Amino acid sequence: MNMFSLCGGFIQPSLELSLFYLTFCYVKTSAKFTFNHFKVFWFYFSAVPLGTTAKEEMERFWNKNTDLNRPLSPHITIYSWSLPMAMSICHRGTGVALSAGVSLFGLSALLVPGNFESHLELVKSLCLGPSLIYTAKFALVFPLMYHTWNGIRHLIWDLGKGLKIPQLYQSGVAVLVLTVLSSVGLAAM
């Protein structure tokens, strides 16, 4: 007697019926549970169709929310801002900005005529004041320093240290202070 004849052909039996079949096989043979029974059992469960597709579930979810007049999602303005939250967003933003900057710098080296020295000479010939040059250098180095110091902070978190709420605020302030100091120092070079 196999599972399909026990269940009347190819009808999808329930879990209870499958367990009954396994128990029946064990009692009938008065032997230990064999691999053949196990193989039939897993073959059977791999043949069971899924209930719904992901698309059907999503449609049901959105239809229910539309019927209940729920908003699409909570807006960012409902959250009270905190230092760790703002620093997390800024860390992601500086990462994207630095990646884009490096990519654009590399593309400009390929596409823009001239070489790097000629572009530096062009900037020097504009006779910009030292305060404007210092501000531009600070604006260029600040995202790099912020992302570097905050990245070190993340590495410390990966070690399992500094994860309590007061420590998050302390390390956040330390990152901001180190960012400003190192940016001021590098821009002065």
87 and 31 belong to one structural domain: no
Query: Do 157 and 166 contact (CB within 8 A), yes or no?
Result: no
Amino acid at 135: T
In a domain, 61, yes or no: no
With respect to residue 72, please indicate whether it lies within any of the assigned structural domains: no
DSSP labels, 155-166: HHHHTT-S-SHH
What is the enclosing helix (H) or strand (E) of 172?
helix 165-187
**Domain count within the chain:** 2
| pTM across the whole model | 0.60
pLDDT in tens, 35-82: 555 555 554 555 545 577 889 999 999 999 889 988 777 777 788 889
Same domain, 94 and 159: yes
167 shares a domain with 110: yes
Whether residue 68 lies inside any domain: the answer is no
pLDDT score, position 8: 47
Residues 89 and 41 in one domain: no
56 belongs to a structural domain: no
The yes-or-no verdict on residue 18 having pLDDT over 90 is no
Whole-angstrom distance, CA of residue 13 vs CA of residue 16:
8
CA distance 170 to 84: 10
User: Could you report the per-residue pLDDT of 139-163, keeping only the tens digit for each?
Assistant: 999 999 999 999 999 999 999 999 9
Domain that holds residue 92: 82-187
Same domain, 37 and 106: no
Residue 156, in any domain of the structure: yes
Q: Is 67 within the bounds of a domain?
A: no
Same domain, 107 and 24: no
Q: 37 — phi, psi (to 5°)? A: -65, -40
- Shared domain for 92 and 159, answered yes or no, is yes
Map residue 11 onto helix, strand or coil: coil
The verdict on 92 and 175 lying in the same domain is: yes
What's the rounded mean pLDDT across residues 6-17?
50
Does residue 57 lie in a domain region? Answer: no
Q: What's the CATH number where 90 sits?
A: 1.20.1300.10
Q: For residue 183, which amino acid is it?
A: S
Instruction: Give pLDDT, residue 151.
Output: 98
